[in-house]
Amino acid sequence: MDVLFYWADQAGVAVFAIAGTLLAFRKHMDGFGVVVLASTTAIGGGTIRDLILDLPVFWTQDQTYIYTILAAALVTIIWLRYKTYIPMTTLQLADAIGLAFFATMGAEKTLSAGFSPFIAVIMGTITACFGGMLRDVLARDVPMVLKSELYATTCIAGATVYCLLINYSPLIAFAAAMLTTLVIRIGAIRYQWSLPVFRDSHEYH
């Protein structure tokens, strides 16, 4: 299972690096901008998680993560040379897949470090959301986590499923958490699912 989790983590980094590169393309950034957005998206959330938990920052211990980011960005750049337009849905789909990976892996690493399931859910959400939030801020976009469709809630759901099932089967927990996050996020994109707190302003007049 350790090998599976390691390569799942690498896959999540690659997918988020692709999402960052796609946004850099949409914003007409240069090569440096591509690397910054790809890296921020891919390792930003995990870096914040490790700093909060007072753990060694994962990519400083294993430089393969950096190589994965650069490789994913390069492959995406080559692919984009043949595309004149990237639909927003492509970026959203890549982001959703990255969320599913990182919400699960963030919870897994937190539990492995000896923290409670409650903290694991929080750290899974931070791992999944904060890299994309930093990416959107740097690109001067409204962060997806602040938009109306379910975003952080999908990570909370996925990380919770992982924590509930991990004692039964790590493999089932991993698959169920990934699927939960991905299905809810794609549904939120497709059908604008949200959790409204305030009524429309005209209702107050």
d(CA 102, CA 5): 11
Q: Residues 142, 136: contact at Cβ < 8 Å?
A: yes
71, two tokens: 């490789």
pLDDT of residue 145: 81
- Residue 190: pLDDT above 60? yes
Instruction: Give the C-alpha separation, 162 to 46, whole Å.
Output: 17
pLDDT in tens, 8-24: 899 999 999 999 999 99
Letter for the amino acid at 167? Answer: N
pLDDT of residue 198: 61
Beta carbons of 23 and 77 less than 8 angstroms apart: no
The confidence band for 109, taking pLDDT boundaries of 50, 70 and 90, is very high
pLDDT category of residue 146 using cuts at 50, 70 and 90: confident
Share of residues in the chain with pLDDT > 70 (%): 94
Q: Decide if pLDDT at 197 tops 70.
A: no
Q: Give residue-wise pLDDT tens across range 69-107.
A: 999 999 999 998 887 677 878 888 888 999 999 999 999
What tokens appear for 80 in the block? 């984009």
pTM of the predicted structure, to 2 decimals: 0.89
- Calpha distance 98→50 (Å, rounded): 18
Contact 143, 133 (CB under 8 A): yes
Q: What number of residues does the chain have?
A: 205
pLDDT, tens digit, 9 for 90 and up, residues 51-75: 999 999 999 999 999 999 999 999 9
The answer to whether residues 130 and 155 touch, using CB atoms and an 8 Å cutoff, is no
Q: Is the pLDDT of residue 204 over 50?
A: no
